[in-house]
Amino acid sequence: MGISGLLPLLKSIQVQKHLSEFAGQTLAVDGYVWLHRGTYACATELATGKSTSKYVEYAMQKVRLLRHHGIHPYLVFDGGPLPAKRGTEKERQQRRADNLARGHALAAQGRHKEAREFYCKCVDVTPQMAYQLIKALKAAGVPYLVAPYEADAQLAYLERSYSPSRSRSRSRSRDRDRERDGRRRARSYSPSRSRSRDRDRRREKRRRSRSSERSVSSDEERRHKRRKEKYRSRSRDRKERKKEKKDKKKSKKSGVVGGEWGKFGIISETDLYSKEQEFRAWLVEERMMNPETMSKDQTKKEFLKFVEDFNTATLPNEKFYNMTAYDTRMAAMRAGAYVPPAEDSYDPNADIKAHALKHKRPEQERESYMSREQLMELRKVQQERIEAGKMKLLGMDIKQNMGVRMDGSKFDD
């Protein structure tokens, strides 16, 4: 009908019901409404001239849904254009043409998501599209009707005149009225009879109001039950997830403690100062925290975590257990000497390799065009760069000349 704001206006008198409550009845539907809804799924194809039948599938899905609940669908289609709406139709056509032009322009720029919004506004349901749906309805054995003009007026006329249940009940009510009129004419007027009739009417009214109140309260109870069940299922899932997490953590802990406890020694809270170097390196590299800006309480909490990982041998790198031994090992590896594996396991080829390295000719130092002072300066710059990288990770301020090699007279001989 195109009346803006009609549905919100009627919201106060609407009653929500499930489709199954209308089982065995005939439901007349405006076919163009379903077709308009179906075009949203294929607006781009229709606007660009591509062939599609998604709108037919949408309408037939609605038909199947009604049949599933025992409702007999009866579709009514718009007929010829209404002369009174000629001006409105012209305005709509102009808007559709503008939206189509905008959609094509956006699609040409590659903005397909925005173009689709305008395509949805420009699509019009044509008689050819209605004919495609009519063919599908014929194949499914669904009754339909093409109205002379607007489907809304035809639906109202069908409801009043051609509904089978209504016509039967109307004819019965007419017969009852005639019988009543005949009886009334035959009998003389009695005041007591009229009073009893009024009483009966009042009772009927009260009964109807009670039944409507009961139906409303039953709907509310159903909604309340649904909400309660949903909340219970959510809380159940949350408890199960917590339990799984707890079990996983427990199994992980028990697995570590069983085989690796005390592999690199046992430390406690009192070893904060003896393991300060390793703890600080762990804070910077693993926890991404600056030990200089931490409070005493926070340092103690973090050290307790470090102690737990140390004792269970779950720290990510061997240097966090003994920094001095790690530095010695790395220096030996850089010098080319054979270094046994970090594990305590025996390597049978270790002695052979160590003996072979003893007889290896020592490498002569290659000549360099840089002096010792320059090399030392380069090493210092490299160390500064490493420290600057760590400070950057911690969000600390870095000096501009930190990790920068100063070329100039300093390196001149």
In the numeric block, which tokens belong to residue 34? Answer: 């379903």
- Mean pLDDT computed over 131-160: 88
Identity of the highest mean pLDDT range in 174-178, 281-285, 372-376: 281-285
The Cα–Cα gap between 106 and 99 comes to 11
CB neighbours of 125 closer than 8 A, spacing ≥ 6?
Answer: 32, 35, 36, 39, 55
Instruction: Please tell me the predicted confidence (pLDDT) of residue 255.
Output: 40
Q: Provide long-range contacts, Cβ within 8 A and 24+ apart, for 281-290.
A: 281/319, 281/320, 281/323, 282/306, 282/315, 282/320, 284/390, 284/393, 284/394, 285/317, 285/390, 286/316, 286/320, 288/393, 288/394, 289/394, 290/394, 290/395, 290/396
Q: What value, to the nearest 5°, has the Cα angle with vertex 109 and ends 103 and 113?
A: 55
Contact 27, 74 (CB under 8 A): yes
Least confident window among 165-174, 193-202, 397-406: 165-174
Q: Which residue has the tokens 């949350």?
A: 238
Average pLDDT of the chain, as a whole number = 79
Q: Cα dihedral angle (335, 336, 337, 339), rounded to 10 degrees?
A: 100
Contact 283, 333 (CB under 8 A): no
Contact 324, 308 (CB under 8 A): no
The Cα–Cα gap between 313 and 264 comes to 7
Give the closest residue to 123 by CA, choosing from 49, 37, 43. 43
Q: Which residue has the tokens 């299922």?
A: 233
Identity of the highest mean pLDDT range in 182-191, 256-265, 278-287, 360-369: 278-287
